Amino acid sequence: MARGPDHIVHAVRDLDAAADFYRRIGFTVGARNRHSWGTHNCIVQFPECFIEILTLAEPEKLGDDDISRLFGKFNGDFLKAHEGFSQLVLESRDAIADERAFREQGIAVSEAMRFEREGKRPDGSTVKLAFSLAFARDPLAPETGFFVCQHHFPENFWNPAFQKHANGATEIAGVVFVAENPTDHHIFMSAFAGERDLQSTSSGISIATPHGEIQVMDPTAYRIHFGIEPPSVMAGMRLCALRFTAPDLKTVEASLKSAHVGHSHHLNRIVVAPAEAMGAALVFEQSPR
């Protein structure tokens, strides 16, 4: 089964400030949620994909279990060095089966694990949420985390009321990694996404998934495509940018100007650089007509 992005983790040091930033530039941001292992998050939701703005707020709650180690501690360690996109999470219909497939392909680092928490609807009422996760690892990308997420009560999570954004953004079009040699990650990305048909170009590699594109570019191609500097990849591949589509980029720009957030125009895109967005590059593109 081909797996598309389920969500992207944006690790930040100040969750309230980050949530306020996303709100100011026109995104609908959910309430603060708390995990039993000490991480807190806020959600920016789109149809079938979301951004998890996350911080390690209570490190004393970290345990010895895999989810504490591979999610909580991983993001805590990430934040000691920088803020930004720390983990790519793909959709799963069966996390146990995905963990088995990852193990057969030599990329698994955990058994499938389940956790539950409460969620809140727009009216303030609570609902039950539960997820199963299975983690994978690319040894050539030690600063990026990878796992799949199975939603056990998707009807309680996905909500059209949370998916309407004042800046006009309608969907997440894709994620962008930067690596010194993108083809070095071909085998891992194919196994992780469950997709054999990868496209190789002069810029790197790309995977078309059910919920957007996964791209791995070299640093030069990243500069050409987005007009900004990539992060250092001396330690390995990094998850750098998130691409959104919107029917009217003028609405996007008006939201950014209203929030006094710096941005640039490059190749018919609006780009918010990592210095403005807590280590993350946010790229807005015109929706296909």
pLDDT tens for residues 225-271?
999 999 999 999 999 999 999 999 999 999 999 999 999 999 999 99
Where are the domains positioned within the chain? 5-163, 171-286
pLDDT at 1: 66
Q: What's the CA gap between 147 and 155, in Å, rounded?
A: 22
Please tell me if the domain spanning 5-163 has the same topology as the one spanning 171-286: yes
Which residues face 11 on adjacent strands? Answer: 54, 84
Q: What's the CA gap between 119 and 127, in Å, rounded?
A: 5
pLDDT at 197: 84
Look at strands 212-217 and 204-209 and give their pairing. Answer: antiparallel
Q: In 57-203, which ranges are E strands?
A: 84-91, 113-120, 126-136, 145-151, 171-178, 199-200
pLDDT at 29: 97
pLDDT at 122: 67
pLDDT at 56: 98
Q: How confident is the model at residue 127 (pLDDT cuts 50, 70, 90)?
A: confident
pLDDT score of 44 more than 80:
yes
The residue-averaged pLDDT of 180-194 equals 96
Q: Over the chain, what is the mean pLDDT? A: 95
Q: How confident is the model at residue 204 (pLDDT cuts 50, 70, 90)?
A: very high
pLDDT at 118: 80
Q: Does domain 171-286 have CATH number 3.10.180.10?
A: yes
pLDDT at 243: 98
Joined tokens for residue 64:
């010895």
The residue-averaged pLDDT of 77-84 equals 97
Q: What's the CA gap between 208 and 153, in Å, rounded?
A: 26
Joined tokens for residue 162:
């949370």
With CA atoms as reference, report the closest residue to 70 among 31, 105, 115.
115
Quick: pLDDT tens for 81-94. 999 999 999 999 99
Q: Name the residue type at position 226.
A: F
Chain mean position to CA 289: 26
CA dihedral of residues 207, 220, 176, 16 (deg, nearest 10): 180
Question: Following DSSP, what letter does each residue of 166-189 receive, concatenated?
Answer: TT---EEEEEEEE-SSGGGGHHHH
pLDDT at 125: 80
Q: How confident is the model at residue 202 (pLDDT cuts 50, 70, 90)?
A: confident
Q: What's the CA gap between 6 and 188, in Å, rounded?
A: 18
Q: What's the CA gap between 183 and 288, in Å, rounded?
A: 28
Joined tokens for residue 116:
């539950």
pLDDT score of 286 more than 80:
yes
Tell me the CATH class for 5-163: alpha beta
Which of 66-75, 118-127, 130-139, 264-273 shows the lowest mean pLDDT across its residues? Answer: 118-127
